[in-house]
Amino acid sequence: MLLSLGLWLGSCQVNDLQPQTALSETTAFQTPERLELTVAGVYDGAQSGFYNGSLTTGVVRGYPFGAAHLEQGDMRGEDMVSVQAFYAVTYRSTYDASSPNNGFFWQTTYAMINRANVVLAGLETAKPTAALTQAQIDAYKGEMRFLRALGHHYLLVFFARPFGDNPTAANGGIPYRTQPVTGGATVDQVVQQGRNTVSECYDKLIEDLNYAESVLPATRTNKITRATQGAAIALKMRVRLHQNNWAEVIKEGNKLVPATGALTSPIGAYQLTASPLGAFGAGNKNNTESIFSIENNDVDNGGVNGAPASMYNASGVGGRGIIAISPILWNQPFFPATDLRKSAAAVASDAPSAAGRGGNFSRKYVDVVNRSDNAPIIRYAEVLLTMAEALARTTPSDPRALTLLSAVRNRANTDAASQYTAASFATGTDLVRAIINERRPEFLAEGMRWLDIHRLSTDATYRQATGIPAKANNTILNFAPLYTNNPATTFALLPAIAYTDRLFVWPLPQEEILNNPVLSKQQNPGY
């Protein structure tokens, strides 16, 4: 059975570092303190899923969102390169229904979703008291529905075709699970749930996020690692962007982005940090830009084989030198040599060695000893660029869109020659393309690249490739000389994979097919 059946809290939980024991479903909702621990357990399910074992044993890799979504999302795209064999299956698209990385992403994401559903069912029985108000109960429900939406959306991006393809095709989406599995008859009922359409899934995403927005607080003490009203709105903007629903993106964006004046959100007071690295390093735990991140700490993290500081850092600064910035991105004309996101503070280099093939590595995650860096999910920079894209697609050459683009770009490009003005774009199409391009250096090493490739794959004007893009061949022996800042630089590439190829979407995991008689007839075509 692939779904977590209880409220296991483990020890050293994220958001509560005191060792805890398991709480049964009958006792978890009896006191405010127990309820808080139960909710923390769902966040832990988002952070520390296991690999190569059961859902409560095995090697911690940070599935689904503690670390693994960063590396998986980047390895599906072309802007980062696997210079060792660690993520080669994902990078080279040689996966099948038995591949562990995609299989465990599916399993741990649905396990987290089930935990959220169990808590939601329990919250329906909770009675308001002086110590636990109805508003607090509703806010807990909002957190659970936010996490449920987050999990389902990433499953859609990896296992289903994009909304722009054929959203009403039967069984084209994923099972959108809203019922808890707690044993007994419900196990069979949920196990036999089939795939919703993509459109149905997106309707449910919006329903969950609308509710979350209506009940979550605007801010809280641990505002980065617990869902807030702003996080629900920002995730809704992302979902609407994947639907190509520009009007709804703008409607939601107007809640977080002032029409004039300083770009400080009216909800949550989010604003860009002064430095493009301000939400990372020393600022990873407390900054004005991070809207939602998954917490890691020194006792609960993705481990040396999963934590971002291990995977993305050069070996020369204590990392493992596994996932490098690809020269494909490095040499793009929209990513100039003077960009602060290429500075020594942002990038470290390795020479080729017996352990790796060298390259330039992101320094967004710095704690290579304790591996405590939070895993970013949503930043205010994404809100601004998402809003800018929707505005520019709605009104060609929209000046507000240029303002929002410039806010993100100019903090990393302080020289006038690299900054944009209205004269930089001959057409409105050029402005939209610049906004989309800016997302690539801004969100490198944050797992965002595949999300954009996926949503744009059916966009004839702005698609990034005709499917999975060509990538730097990860068997290149020495990447170091390929970072030339010259787009004409050539090197060996892995061929692009067509959008129509089965490999564009991951197969439903073999274990799920074996256990679910309905899904066994709904495998993605070609697998």
* CA–CA–CA angle 40, 41, 46 (5° rounding): 95
Using a cut of 0.85, tell me whether the model's pTM lies above it.
yes
Confidence of residue 378 (pLDDT cuts 50, 70, 90): very high
Confidence of residue 19 (pLDDT cuts 50, 70, 90): very low
> 489: which residues sit within 8 A by CB, 6+ positions away?
327, 331, 482
Res 258 pLDDT > 80: yes
**Dist. CA 138–CA 99, nearest whole Å:** 39
Amino acid found at 269: A
Between residues 1 and 437, the one the model is more confident about? 437
**Dist. CA 69–CA 115, nearest whole Å:** 19
What mean pLDDT is predicted for residues 235-241?
99
Q: What is the pLDDT of residue 427?
A: 97
Range in 13-27, 275-289, 487-501 the model is least confident about = 13-27
Res 227 pLDDT > 60: yes
End-to-end Cα separation, the chain, in angstroms: 22
**Dist. CA 441–CA 381, nearest whole Å:** 12
468 three-class SS:
strand
Res 184 pLDDT > 60: no
Judge whether 59 and 30 are in contact, CB under 8 Å: no
**Dist. CA 213–CA 143, nearest whole Å:** 9
Range in 9-13, 110-114, 170-174, 201-205 the model is least confident about = 9-13
**Dist. CA 250–CA 264, nearest whole Å:** 16
Peptide bond into 308 cis (omega under 30): no
Tell me which fold the domain 32-297+375-521 belongs to.
1.25.40
Res 50 pLDDT > 80: no
Confidence of residue 58 (pLDDT cuts 50, 70, 90): low
- Six token digits for residue 354: 């017996």
**Dist. CA 472–CA 476, nearest whole Å:** 8
Confidence of residue 7 (pLDDT cuts 50, 70, 90): very low
**Dist. CA 72–CA 98, nearest whole Å:** 16
Between residues 56 and 132, the one the model is more confident about? 132
- Domains of the chain, by residue range, sit at 32-297+375-521
**Dist. CA 459–CA 437, nearest whole Å:** 15
Judge whether 17 and 297 are in contact, CB under 8 Å: yes
Q: What is the pLDDT of residue 182?
A: 76
Nearest residue to 90 (alpha-carbon basis) of 82, 251, 519: 82
> 100: which residues sit within 8 A by CB, 6+ positions away?
51, 52
What mean pLDDT is predicted for residues 134-163?
98
